[in-house]
Chain A
Amino acid sequence: MHRREREREMSVFGGDSWGREAQQRKRRVDDLLEQSHDGTSFQKLSSGKFACLVCPHNPVLDSSLMLSMHNKGSRHLAAESRLKERELMRLEEINKRVALLDGSTDAANSCTSTKRFKLASKPLIEQTRNAASETLSNKALLQNATNKHRDMKLSRGNASFFASNSTHVPKPRMESPVMGAGPSSSNDKNCIWATEASNKMLIQHQLEFRERRERELKFTAAGWKRDGFGNWFRDENVEFDSDEEDPNVSLT
């Protein structure tokens, strides 16, 4: 009672309060509308507008109504199907790796798996690595294997990323037959599922990563350099033996 009175006093519309009620009603409708949308496909911005996360150029839409209109558009639908396809591929990959590992993973060391990979006493690098592995296990993100500039690029499923680096990213093993996997749209379900599986996978992943990095370092130390396309070439100031290994051959 009191609150309402106070609200009334504070109302900008004068004595009648129908406008406020109408506003609230509208918001409620909006909320309901929003719920009907897939929570991961858009983001509500601080301005109250909506950004579509599915479409590659992330269009910003003024209201949820417009968002729902957009979601029915052909362009959005095409983008959505592409995304789903990729998601499927990722799940498939995860499942495959889980299958490759023996199932005896206890939950206890799953959370400490990264600790065992303490490579050096470099706190910053370790932080980065921790963050990276967390992201890896929780989100549908891929890691850039080149790591040339010491920062791990995160991709949000943008296709262009793959395009530029495809030459030196280890080829995902997609040759195996597709295993049945439902559309994993819900985040939390995925997470529980992944922590168990990610343990062994991560180890393997990181070992591979290190090994590869060590080999690359050996080549850089031996005087090989890279061009913008990731191809290796010989530094003109460095001398090479006649039978020296060529990273362009041995690293692909």
Chain B
Amino acid sequence: MYLYNLTLQQATGIVCATNGNFIGGKSQEIIVARGKVLDLLRPDENGKIQTILSVDVFGAIRSLAQFRLTGSQKDYIVVGSDSGRIVILEYNKEKNVFDKVHQETFGKSGCRRIVPGQYLAVDPKGRAVMIGACEKQKLVYVLNRDTAARLTISSPLEAHKSHTIVYSIAGVDCGFDNPIFAAIELDYSEADQDSTGQAASEAQKHLTFYELDLGLNHVSRKWSEQVDNGANMLVTVPGGGDGPSGVLVCAENFVIYKNQGHRDVRAVIPRRADLPAERGVLVVSAATHKQKSMFFFLLQTEYGDIFKVTLEHENDRVTELKIKYFDTIPVTASMCVLKTGFLFAASEFGNHALYQFKAIGDDADVESSSATLMETEEGFQPVFFQPRGLKNLVRIDQVESLMPIMDMKVTNMFEEETPQIFTLCGRGPRSSLRILRPGLAISEMAVSQLPGIPSAVWTVKKNVNDEFDAYIVVSFANATLVLSIGETVEEVSDSGFLDTTPSLAVSLLGDDSLMQVHPSGIRHIREDGRINEWKTPGKRTIVKVGSNRLQVVIALSGGELIYFEMDMTGQLMEVEKHEMSGDVACLDIAPVPEGRQRSRFLAVGSYDNTIRILSLDPDDCMQILSVQSVSSPPESLLLLEVQASVGGEDGADHPASVFLNAGLQNGVLFRTVVDMVTGQLSDTRSRFLGLRAPKLFSAIVRGRRAMLCLSSRPWLGYIHQGHFLLTPLSYETLEYAASFASDQCAEGVVAVAGDALRVFTIERLGETFNETTIPLRYTPRKFVLHPKRKLLVVIESDQGAFTAEEREAARKECLEAAGMGENENGNVEPMENGDDDEEKDDPLSDEQYGYPKAESDKWVSCIRVLDPRTAKTTCLLELQDMEAAFSICTVNFHDKEYGTLLAVGTAKALQFFPKRTFAAGFIHIYRFLEDGKSLELLHKTQVEGVPLALCQFQGRLLAGIGPVLRLYDLGKRRLLRKCENKLFPNTIVSIHTYRDRIYVGDIQESFHYCKYRRDENQLYIFADDSVPRWLTASYHIDFDTMAGADKFGNVYFVRLSQDVSDEIEEDPTGGKIKWEQGKLNGAPNKVEEIVQFHVGDVVTCLQKASLIPGGGECIIYGTVMGSLGALLAFTSREDVDFFSHLEMHMRQEHPPLCGRDHMAYRSAYFPVKDVIDGDLCEQFPTLPPDLQRKIADELDRTPGEILKKLEDVRNKII
């Protein structure tokens, strides 16, 4: 089995981010690392975050920094990754790529203890960069420029210190003195030697300054001083005339200003009033804002509160450190303050946000200061505050993030054309159920009813130079309606259009005249109001029209074509007639190329299943240039010109070309390239779009021509980053469409469907899925589908939080204390998190501020029955008594009267630190009431472990309780233990069953295949895996095969070999399975690994599904970073050969950006086996054309064929 891995949705979470001026000029951009993807983002003029570039680097990005050489206008990016190399990148605006400026190797690849890459610090003046490991090694590279003003990088200078753990590093701003780097270090050499543990308890963190002597080209430890053991982060303080220099040390509960030769200035971080006393406050992210005259820091704590930190200083002496409460936003992984007045908050979990500064916190608020720091016997006096609504920030945009995907199911619950992907995302109060549908999101601008059922719609400008359309023309069965576009859209009668007849085409002709084609003639409306009418000869009627700005071709009934051209005087002149062999099914003329008089090609589709290309040149007018036969009569034709491109922001290099698109009656879209010179057709592709014959329309997307295809659902064909993408729109079936431009929406679409006129715009191009979000209360763990009722049952649980009642009480208290009691109206539904409207009358939404924190053995948990159609929760049961739900399944017990029951595995007072402990484990059995809409507890059974896996098996319930697999039957008051097997190595986390086989997943030892013997009432393990895999997800593929994913980011398939399987199945006496013994406590048989692939991200869920109607099934996986991918099995050997060769060439010709070897990356833990990386193959169009041609030559193909292959395989998946 060979698989093709393709990422369907890139990771949406953010690991680290930095901002700077990467494009040059005045703009501010943000670079974000999403695990293995590097994105360049920019807020556009409307304050919407736009992705400018997204590159898969095939390596784990661990740190990012930006620097600027003095006097330069542009920032460089330094990337610390798992490649054992430091990489300096520069954004190339012309080609829209990152150019690798330098790549220096210093160590082994992989995320290792002592290989640098985890920490990066740059000298604020851009003279040096330090790259550090978690332990021991730190390297300093000197950055300079050569005579041609190019960036140079020195060989590394070592600043190693063995037996030290590094917590954070930062560059110290000391103007143009020798660069200094600061590090928080912990020396563990003594603790290592001392077995009594005394030295370990006395170990002390130090703040160390390393000085790079530029003259001697040497790094030395300059200064070292003790800091709090809670110190975790360093923030550079501006220096060199702009400030006092030095660093801010963020420690538990304190922020300390430190510098060499300066006394510590310490201030306490204000605490939330409701925080339990034993909890500290840690700073998790920081951002610095620096202007000429002032600077301040924004520090965010682990609870989401942002504090503004300012320093009072006289020259180099800091007199006071002030920490003032600023605002509260969801906890971030990284914050970026842009010079343009924005704050980009890369959330740790859930959607990222862009905020605008309304104020910079100059108003009075809770403040702690070093000057008022009080030390008492119990320590320093804390300062308390109450979080409040946003005062200084206002959110203007958010970027959706699925991170982390906790569970996923693909099913067609809504009975749409394609299945929906249900994902459980997020954490704590920001968690949600997201329903993903393949397709682009659209936003509907207007819907208006029309007097009848319209058959067609056009938009038309009055003048070719107009920016916006002037009229919307709607044709009915026997009339035409003209709407004028202005402030409002209203019907007009003075347009000159004939309104008593249906229309066949309406368009702008020449520069400023309009044309209406109706069945009995052509009406040409001149700019001055004169009307020329051309009547059809005899009783013949016009059936089809093709036109562009200067040319019109009509087809009369019977198959006669008449060609008109516009002459110099603006008159429409008949040029040529041509008799076709039969009726014409459809026509199209390409738009007039720029700088030309006419388009050269006319495409004519006939009912004899052919498409002909006719010449419109005066020399060989109406000569047939080429003929293409198709599988079914064409319904609609569109000649789509793709403009030449040399990269730039939206595309890669590609020459201009003309594509002929045809929608066939069997629902297939047929695409072929038209040779610009000869009119020959080549390189055909076809794709099934839906049950109706696609109608094709041209539209404008991002200033380029794109294609709308209306089949049983609408599709958009457009070019995105060098790929032609054909993506469905998440919208209803449309009849007819036209592009639409007005001052409200520049690039809209007007369409008719039923008796309504709809105006909409297409959003977030380039994305594969659009999502519907339903908020949840706690971190979702798992969910099941109620098989018959189309309901979801979700279990949610959170550690260290208060129950809903306690929260409610605390909240009332807090609101009263804050004097906002009058705001509270009794009927607000405080139990539910609002989705994303912060403006509602909830001044302290949990989503924004997080839940109040409780002791770590306190758990809150709920079981929710949700109707996804209405997004309504029909039943929500909060578990009491610190119980938390961990597993769920539906079960039908044999010959018991209840029908489908729900089993939920819970644990009480579970704690992970210092040791995993719990008070009790339970299995709850619930019964569905009211058509499955609500639940009733039947009974609960105490078990001796945490039941992490539940599954129905032969009318009974299988439960994995710690290392025990147990079979339960339903009793009157409790579950009855019927059979068990205690021979599993660690903890059972997944159970799948098929016939009498049971596939058990162990938390760290992969799969165990078991069999239940009824006649003996025994469970036997007959096969297991030889590789210790830390299982995070599993899926049953077939009788002998399981797919799994481990926590190191690998996906793998294991299979029991056929002969062993047969032997197991044909063991009539049962003696073999009973007495056969494995070696070293293992099972007698071993499964074989048949597929292995390093995804590079922890896969949390796997499912087999088909995302396109009638398509083959593939394995869909979701990851912690919020990405979705698919593994498709190849069906032909030929394809395997082709793609493995393409992958090989891509590896050679296009090595990954961050210096990690692609093959090594995909084999990071186990050698990659039988999986071809589609993400690498899909980078082919981003290569320069000569390289594309070179690779294509070696594969004996043309670049076009390779692109087609890539498109084909993508179309098989989505």
Binding site for B on A (CB under 8 A): 122-125, 128, 149-151, 217, 220-223, 235, 237-243
In the complex, residue of chain B having the shortest beta-carbon distance to the beta carbon of A213: B1015
In the complex, residue of chain A having the shortest beta-carbon distance to the beta carbon of B980: A237
In the complex, residue of chain B having the shortest beta-carbon distance to the beta carbon of A123: B1066
Find residues 977-1006 in chain B having any chain A CB closer than 8 Å to their own CB: 977-980
Find residues 1008-1046 in chain B having any chain A CB closer than 8 Å to their own CB: 1014-1017
Are B1014 and A221 in contact (CB-based, < 8 A)? yes
Stretch of B254-262, B869-877, B968-976 lying at the A interface: B968-976
Are B1015 and A240 in contact (CB-based, < 8 A)? no
Are B972 and A241 in contact (CB-based, < 8 A)? yes
Most buried by A among B980, B1017, B1069: B1017
Find residues 1042-1079 in chain B having any chain A CB closer than 8 Å to their own CB: 1066, 1068-1070
- Could you say which residues of chain B place their CB within 8 Å of the CB of A123? 1066
Are B978 and A223 in contact (CB-based, < 8 A)? yes
**A240-B972 CB under 8 A given contacts A122-B1066, A124-B1066, A150-B1068:** no
Chain B contributes a number of interface residues (CB within 8 A of A) equal to 17
**A239-B972 CB under 8 A given contacts A150-B1070, A220-B1016, A221-B1014:** no
Report the 6 A-B pairs with minimum CB-CB distance, sorted nearest first.
A239-B976, A241-B971, A124-B1068, A221-B1014, A239-B977, A217-B1014
The 8 A CB mask of B66-96 against A (1 = contact, 0 = none) is: 0000000000000000000000000000000
How far does the alpha carbon of A238 sit from the alpha carbon of B977 in the complex, in Å? Answer: 6
| Between-chain CB contacts (< 8 Å), 14 pairs | A123-B1066, A125-B1068, A217-B1014, A217-B1015, A235-B1017, A237-B977, A238-B976, A238-B977, A238-B978, A238-B979, A239-B971, A239-B974, A240-B976, A243-B972
In the complex, residue of chain B having the shortest beta-carbon distance to the beta carbon of A126: B1068
In the complex, residue of chain A having the shortest beta-carbon distance to the beta carbon of B1065: A122
- Could you say which residues of chain B place their CB within 8 Å of the CB of A128? 1068
Are A221 and B978 in contact (CB-based, < 8 A)? yes
How far does the alpha carbon of A240 sit from the alpha carbon of B977 in the complex, in Å? Answer: 8
How far does the alpha carbon of A220 sit from the alpha carbon of B980 in the complex, in Å? Answer: 14
In the complex, residue of chain B having the shortest beta-carbon distance to the beta carbon of A214: B1014
In the complex, residue of chain B having the shortest beta-carbon distance to the beta carbon of A243: B972
In the complex, residue of chain B having the shortest beta-carbon distance to the beta carbon of A235: B1017
How far does the alpha carbon of A151 sit from the alpha carbon of B1068 in the complex, in Å? Answer: 10
Are B1014 and A220 in contact (CB-based, < 8 A)? yes
Are A122 and B1068 in contact (CB-based, < 8 A)? yes
Q: How near does chain A come to B1011, taking the closest CB pair, in angstroms?
A: 14
In the complex, residue of chain B having the shortest beta-carbon distance to the beta carbon of A224: B1017
Q: How near does chain A come to B187, taking the closest CB pair, in angstroms?
A: 55
How far does the alpha carbon of A242 sit from the alpha carbon of B974 in the complex, in Å? Answer: 11
Are A221 and B1017 in contact (CB-based, < 8 A)? yes
How far does the alpha carbon of A235 sit from the alpha carbon of B977 in the complex, in Å? Answer: 11
How far does the alpha carbon of A28 sit from the alpha carbon of B1014 in the complex, in Å? Answer: 60
Are B1066 and A239 in contact (CB-based, < 8 A)? no
Are B1066 and A223 in contact (CB-based, < 8 A)? no
How far does the alpha carbon of A107 sit from the alpha carbon of B1070 in the complex, in Å? Answer: 37
Q: How near does chain B come to A230, taking the closest CB pair, in angstroms?
A: 15
How far does the alpha carbon of A222 sit from the alpha carbon of B1069 in the complex, in Å? Answer: 21
The SS class assigned to the A binding surface is loop
Are A241 and B976 in contact (CB-based, < 8 A)? yes
- Could you say which residues of chain B place their CB within 8 Å of the CB of A221? 978-979, 1014, 1017
In the complex, residue of chain B having the shortest beta-carbon distance to the beta carbon of A216: B1015
- Could you say which residues of chain B place their CB within 8 Å of the CB of A239? 971, 974, 976-978
- Could you say which residues of chain A place their CB within 8 Å of the CB of B978? 221-223, 238-239
Number of A-B contacts (CB under 8 A): 47
In the complex, residue of chain A having the shortest beta-carbon distance to the beta carbon of B894: A218
- Could you say which residues of chain A place their CB within 8 Å of the CB of B969? 222
The 8 A CB mask of B4-48 against A (1 = contact, 0 = none) is: 000000000000000000000000000000000000000000000
The SS class assigned to the B binding surface is loop
Are A220 and B1069 in contact (CB-based, < 8 A)? no
**A223-B979 CB under 8 A given contacts A123-B1066, A150-B1070, A242-B972:** yes
Most buried by B among A123, A235, A239, A243: A239
In the complex, residue of chain B having the shortest beta-carbon distance to the beta carbon of A128: B1068
Q: How near does chain B come to A84, taking the closest CB pair, in angstroms?
A: 37
- Could you say which residues of chain A place their CB within 8 Å of the CB of B1017? 220-223, 235, 238
Are A220 and B1015 in contact (CB-based, < 8 A)? yes
- Could you say which residues of chain A place their CB within 8 Å of the CB of B1016? 220
How far does the alpha carbon of A74 sit from the alpha carbon of B1042 in the complex, in Å? Answer: 72
- Could you say which residues of chain A place their CB within 8 Å of the CB of B1069? 149-151
- Could you say which residues of chain B place their CB within 8 Å of the CB of A122? 1066, 1068
How far does the alpha carbon of A150 sit from the alpha carbon of B1013 in the complex, in Å? Answer: 13
Given contacts A238-B979, A241-B976, 17 further A-B contacts (CB under 8 A): A122-B1066, A123-B1066, A124-B1066, A124-B1068, A128-B1068, A220-B1014, A221-B978, A221-B979, A222-B978, A223-B978, A223-B1017, A235-B1017, A237-B980, A238-B977, A239-B971, A242-B972, A243-B972
- Could you say which residues of chain A place their CB within 8 Å of the CB of B980? 237
How far does the alpha carbon of A96 sit from the alpha carbon of B770 in the complex, in Å? Answer: 75
Q: How near does chain B come to A111, taking the closest CB pair, in angstroms?
A: 25
In the complex, residue of chain A having the shortest beta-carbon distance to the beta carbon of B974: A239
How far does the alpha carbon of A238 sit from the alpha carbon of B980 in the complex, in Å? Answer: 9
How far does the alpha carbon of A124 sit from the alpha carbon of B1071 in the complex, in Å? Answer: 14
Q: How near does chain A come to B1063, taking the closest CB pair, in angstroms?
A: 12
How far does the alpha carbon of A151 sit from the alpha carbon of B977 in the complex, in Å? Answer: 30
- Could you say which residues of chain A place their CB within 8 Å of the CB of B976? 238-241
Q: How near does chain B come to A185, taking the closest CB pair, in angstroms?
A: 37
In the complex, residue of chain A having the shortest beta-carbon distance to the beta carbon of B967: A221
Find residues 930-979 in chain B having any chain A CB closer than 8 Å to their own CB: 969, 971-972, 974, 976-979
Q: How near does chain B come to A250, taking the closest CB pair, in angstroms?
A: 14
Q: How near does chain B come to A120, taking the closest CB pair, in angstroms?
A: 10
How far does the alpha carbon of A122 sit from the alpha carbon of B1064 in the complex, in Å? Answer: 12
How far does the alpha carbon of A122 sit from the alpha carbon of B971 in the complex, in Å? Answer: 34
- Could you say which residues of chain A place their CB within 8 Å of the CB of B971? 239, 241
- Could you say which residues of chain B place their CB within 8 Å of the CB of A243? 972
How far does the alpha carbon of A122 sit from the alpha carbon of B1069 in the complex, in Å? Answer: 11
The 8 A CB mask of B323-363 against A (1 = contact, 0 = none) is: 00000000000000000000000000000000000000000
How far does the alpha carbon of A156 sit from the alpha carbon of B1014 in the complex, in Å? Answer: 31
In the complex, residue of chain B having the shortest beta-carbon distance to the beta carbon of A124: B1068
Most buried by B among A128, A221, A235: A221
Q: How near does chain B come to A104, taking the closest CB pair, in angstroms?
A: 36
In the complex, residue of chain B having the shortest beta-carbon distance to the beta carbon of A217: B1014
Q: How near does chain B come to A123, taking the closest CB pair, in angstroms?
A: 7
- Could you say which residues of chain A place their CB within 8 Å of the CB of B1015? 217, 220
How far does the alpha carbon of A243 sit from the alpha carbon of B972 in the complex, in Å? Answer: 9
How far does the alpha carbon of A235 sit from the alpha carbon of B976 in the complex, in Å? Answer: 13
How far does the alpha carbon of A217 sit from the alpha carbon of B1017 in the complex, in Å? Answer: 9
Q: How near does chain A come to B995, taking the closest CB pair, in angstroms?
A: 11
How far does the alpha carbon of A182 sit from the alpha carbon of B1015 in the complex, in Å? Answer: 43
- Could you say which residues of chain B place their CB within 8 Å of the CB of A222? 969, 978, 1017
Most buried by A among B977, B1015, B1066, B1070: B1015
How far does the alpha carbon of A123 sit from the alpha carbon of B1014 in the complex, in Å? Answer: 20
Q: How near does chain A come to B952, taking the closest CB pair, in angstroms?
A: 15
- Could you say which residues of chain A place their CB within 8 Å of the CB of B977? 237-239
How far does the alpha carbon of A217 sit from the alpha carbon of B976 in the complex, in Å? Answer: 17
In the complex, residue of chain B having the shortest beta-carbon distance to the beta carbon of A238: B978
How far does the alpha carbon of A151 sit from the alpha carbon of B1070 in the complex, in Å? Answer: 12
- Could you say which residues of chain B place their CB within 8 Å of the CB of A151? 1069
How far does the alpha carbon of A222 sit from the alpha carbon of B978 in the complex, in Å? Answer: 6
Q: How near does chain A come to B608, taking the closest CB pair, in angstroms?
A: 53
Q: How near does chain A come to B283, taking the closest CB pair, in angstroms?
A: 54
Q: How near does chain B come to A45, taking the closest CB pair, in angstroms?
A: 32
Q: How near does chain B come to A146, taking the closest CB pair, in angstroms?
A: 12
Q: How near does chain A come to B957, taking the closest CB pair, in angstroms?
A: 13
Q: How near does chain B come to A215, taking the closest CB pair, in angstroms?
A: 12
Find residues 765-818 in chain B having any chain A CB closer than 8 Å to their own CB: none
- Could you say which residues of chain B place their CB within 8 Å of the CB of A150? 1068-1070
Most buried by A among B974, B977, B978: B978
- Could you say which residues of chain A place their CB within 8 Å of the CB of B972? 241-243
How far does the alpha carbon of A222 sit from the alpha carbon of B1014 in the complex, in Å? Answer: 9
